[in-house]
Chain A
Amino acid sequence: MLEINNLYVNIGNLSIIQDVSLKVGDGEIVALIGANGMGKTTLVRALSKLNSVKSGKIFFKGEDITDLSADKIVEKGIIQVPEGRKLFPQMSVIENIEMGAYAKRARTKEKENLEYVFTVFPELKSMLKQACGNLSGGQQQMVAIARSIMASPELLILDEPSIGLSPIATQKMFEAIELINKSGIGILITEQNVQQVLKMADTAYAMQQGKIALSGKASDIAADDELKKIYIGM
């Protein structure tokens, strides 16, 4: 559903992403792995148009979306849960979740999506009135994912969702992501928690210095100790 061809992204005068090509098939989970500072976040930010693209093309369901603005990308159904979550700290949990349904594409399905949110994260029901700024990291991550579900994603981008989370919270979050994927939503996930994400993903791409250094079936990469050592440093 998503196809990136020879993408270059600059930040200021620095060339951060160089000649990256990547595919996410329908309903697939694709992991983008690699150490910190290798360009994973810059790449996914460019997909949501928080960074601008220098050259290359991005296609979504066959349509060229390279030049669309951030809000148009959302209307296409590409929704991102960003690194650091970027919630609205002074708004309550329910207000944050409802903001997810701001996009036109999601307005008519608001009720249905909210019910789905509660089946994925039943815990959220008991904290709807709390201000988001006061929640723990794991709880905030739940709200961030819930907010993105409200936007009716076809492709969900998750940028470092396990950062700052306890092992238990991380485990629960991975389970939630698999559940969301089972409902037919494609997932592009960047992770430093390589071991765990490779277990869940169909395909994996390893980034090094802004380039794709390695790609293949996630299970193959997970099984190949030599590859892991070279490209992922574990």
Chain B
Amino acid sequence: MNMQFFQAFLDGTLMGGVYALAALGLSLIFGVMKITNFAHGAMMTVGMYAVYVVSTSLGISPYIALVFAAITLFALGYIIQHFLIDKISDAPTHNQLLLTLGVAYILENGLLAVFSPNYKTLNVDDFDGAIQLGAISISPEKLVAFAVVLIVTAVIYIVLYKTRIGKAIRACSQNKEGAKLMGIVIKKTNAVAFGIGALCTGIAGALLTPILSIYPTLGETFQLKCFVIAILGGMGNLWGALISGLIVGIVESLTGYIAGGSWSDLTVYAAFILILLVKPSGLFGRSNRREH
């Protein structure tokens, strides 16, 4: 294996981690509410602009501004679920889905109105140049992004598996009526779950801000990517989303190395369709077996 191949593999893994975090949020929201959040990409962009604004106006590192983005996005997700989606929780799910699409357009156009469609680039001075390991060079921004993804994922794991509210969220995703009968207030767990899902995509956006030039509709690309990753992982399966995120990142990067960047998306989506043809519930999806 030559060094460039390894370099591409490494880059793909690091970026895949960021995709994985955003997709984890989408999958969590689906697992609990059974709706696909079409505002996921737009929320990611909000996270990007939150970091950009806080970092440039206060002159602080984007990695500190990230905390602000995380809090903002949690609040945004909580509010959207509590004040909008919950109000139509008896409506058919496709109507709830359209509501998230409406939210996406409002967020995107709000960003367009405030920040203009121009590209914005954050100048990061936290690091001096790439890290060289022999022939391999690692972007410190991507390395830090990956490390933050690991930490955030671990924290979300602890919240979901060890805390009262986290266990209630998991209970709701497995049997809503069973959860109600134990005194769990579905409205609250839904809002917290949506908040955590939004926080994931917001942090992913925040981590991409030092790497990419940002513009208000940037989230659309990631919306589709998150969707593909979450489906590959089996909608609602959090570990599946993490592993699929890495896979998509690696496939994208290796295709770019072997065939050129313009082939990346084509390969990812072709692989997506092929996998679904062979395994319709996704790589790690449970089959549609009914629980009894």
Contacts and interface: CB of A to CB of B under 8 A. Distances in A.
A joins B in a complex: yes
Interface string B138-182: 000000000000000000000000001001101100110111111
B125 interface: no
Interface residues of A, number: 30
A37 interface: no
Contact of B175 (A48, A79, A87, A102): A87
B184 interface: yes
Interface residues of B, number: 18
B178 A102 contact: no
A71 B184 contact: yes
Given A89-B175, A91-B170, A99-B171, A71 B185 contact: yes
Contact of A147 (B167, B180, B182): B182
Given A88-B171, A95-B167, A75 B178 contact: no
Given A71-B180, A74-B183, A91 B171 contact: yes
Interface of B: 164, 167-168, 170-171, 174-175, 177-185, 291-292
Interface of A: 48-50, 69-71, 74-75, 79-80, 82, 84-91, 95, 98-100, 102-104, 133, 147, 151, 164
A87 B164 CA distance: 17
A74 B181 contact: yes
A133 B183 CA distance: 22
B181 A75 contact: no
A103 B170 contact: no
Contacts of B167: 91, 95, 98-99, 102
Nearest to A70: B180
Contacts of B292: 84, 164
A190 B171 CA distance: 25
For A84, A88, A90, A133, the residue with the greatest tally of chain B CB atoms inside 10 Å of its CB is A88
Contact of A90 (B174, B179, B182): B174
Given A71-B180, A71-B185, A102-B182, 8 more contacts: A48-B181, A86-B181, A87-B178, A98-B167, A100-B182, A102-B168, A104-B183, A133-B291
